[in-house]
Amino acid sequence: MFKSRTSYVVHYDEAILKKTALKTWTLLKALRSFKIPVPFSCGGEGICTTCRVIVVKGKVSERTPLEKERAEERNFLDNERLSCQCWPLEQNIEIKVP
Ligand code: FES
């Protein structure tokens, strides 16, 4: 059956939240819908890197060319992602907001 929502486990500020969001939403949009105040000073344009999260489990989209550039400049880990630049590709995603 087609599922239109993604289930998230989010580690934030020593809490673990379980939420769902539309699967078409970026991780940033999902996190903000959960009322997690992820900074996004460039407005989600992939420039500022303030929306960085760690993907603990689950598959998300490949890095966009813009995100690749930022990740190389700042020596991101493979699972360190710009939440405004990636989307869930699986039903269950676990992320940590640093
Ligand atoms: S909000 Fe600026 S890079 Fe994501």
Report pLDDT for 3. 75
The residues near 62 (Cβ < 8 Å, ≥ 6 apart) are none
Confidence of residue 93 (pLDDT cuts 50, 70, 90): very high
E strands, 1-98, are 5-12, 15-22, 52-57, 80-82, 92-97
Domain range for 45:
5-97
Give 35-85 pLDDT, tens digit per residue: 999 999 999 999 999 999 999 999 999 999 999 999 999 999 999 999 999
Domain with residue 19: its CATH number is 3.10.20.30
Q: 12 CA to middle of ligand 1, Å?
A: 18
Residue 2 has pLDDT above 70, yes or no: no
CA–CA separation, 92 and 46 (whole Å): 24
For the chain, the domain total comes to: 1
Which atom of ligand 1 lies closest to the CA of 83? 4
Whole-number CA gyration radius for the chain:
12
Which atom of ligand 1 lies closest to the CA of 52? 4
